[in-house]
Structure 1
Amino acid sequence: MLLRIASILLPVLSIVLIGYLYGRRHAPDMVTVNRINMDLFVPALVFVALAGKDVQLAQYGWLALAAAGVVLGSGLLAWPLARLLGIAPLTFVPPMMFNNSGNMGLPLIVLAFGAAALPGAVILFLVEMILHFSLGLWLMDRHAPIGRLFRQPVVIATLAGLAVSVSGLVLPDAVALALKMLGDVSVPLLLFSLGVRIAGVSWAEWKLGVLGGLICPASGLAMAAAMVAWLPLPAAQQPWLWLFAALPPAVLNFLVAEQYRQEPSRVASLVLIGNLMSVLTLPPVLYWLLS
Structure 2
Amino acid sequence: MLLRILSILFPLFAITALGFVVGRRRRPDLSHVNKLNMDVFTPALSFAALASKELHLGTYLPLMGATFALIVGSGLVGWAAARLIGMDPKTLVPPVMFNNCGNLGLPIAVLAFGPEALAAAVVMFTVSNVLHFSFGAWLLDHHTRLSTVWRSPSVLAALAGLVVGVMGWTVWPPLLLSIRMVGDIGIPLMLFALGVRLAESRIEAIGVGVFGAVLRPVAGMAIAWALLQLVDLPAREQALLLVFGALPPAVLNYMFAERYGQEPDKVASMVLIGNMAALVFMPLALAVALRP
TM-score class, shorter-chain normalisation, is over 0.9
Aligned to 1:56: 56
Residue 110 of structure 2 is matched in structure 1 by: 110
TM-score normalized with structure 2 length: 0.97
Inter-partner Cα distance in structure 2 for 1:30 and 1:152: 19
SS of structure 1 residue aligned to 2:121: helix
Q: CA deviation at 1:214?
A: 0.9
- Tell me the distance in 2 between the aligned counterparts of 1:14 and 1:39: 25
Find the aligned partners of 2:8 and 2:19 in 1 and give their Cα distance: 18
AA at the equivalent of 2:59: Q
Aligned partners of 1:55 and 1:119 also within 8 Å: no
Superposition deviation, residue 260 in structure 1: 0.3
Asked if residue 81 in structure 1 is aligned to residue 90 in structure 2, the reply is no
1:171: which partner in 2?
171
Query: Which amino acid is 2:187 matched to?
Result: V
Task: Name the residue aligned to 1:144.
Answer: 144
Question: Under a length normalisation based on structure 1, what TM-score does the superposition of the two structures give?
Answer: 0.97
Residue 229 of structure 1: how far off its partner (Å): 1.5
CA–CA separation in structure 2 for the residues paired with 1:234 and 1:4 = 21
* 1:283 and 2:283 are equivalent in the alignment: yes
Matched, 1:134 2:131: no
Amino acid at match of 1:19: G
Q: Distance in 1 between matches of 2:219 and 2:167?
A: 39
The question of whether the paired residues in 2 share the 8 Å contact of 1:201 and 1:273 is answered with: no
2:201 matched to 1:198? no
Q: CA deviation at 1:239?
A: 0.6
State how far apart, in whole Å, the 1-side matches of 2:233 and 2:7 are.
Answer: 28
What is the CA-CA distance between 1:93 and the residue it aligns to?
0.8
**Aligned length, in residue pairs:** 291
CA contact (8 A) 1:67 1:241 kept: yes
CA–CA distance in 2 between the matches of 1:119 and 1:56? 12
Match of 1:161 in 2: 161
Per the TM alignment, residue 55 of structure 1 is displaced from its structure 2 partner at its CA by 3.4
Measure how far apart 1:247 and its partner are.
0.3
RMSD between aligned alpha carbons?
Answer: 1.1
Q: Which runs of 5+ in 1 are unaligned?
A: none
Give yes or no for the alignment of 1:28 onto 2:28.
yes
Greater shift in the superposed pair: 198-207 or 262-271: 198-207
Is residue 95 from structure 1 mapped to residue 99 from structure 2 by the alignment?
Answer: no
**2:185 match: secondary structure:** helix
Distance 2:35 2:131 in 1: 19
Alpha-carbon deviation of 1:216?
Answer: 0.3
| 2:5 alignment partner in structure 1 | 5
The offset of 1:230, in angstroms, is: 1.8
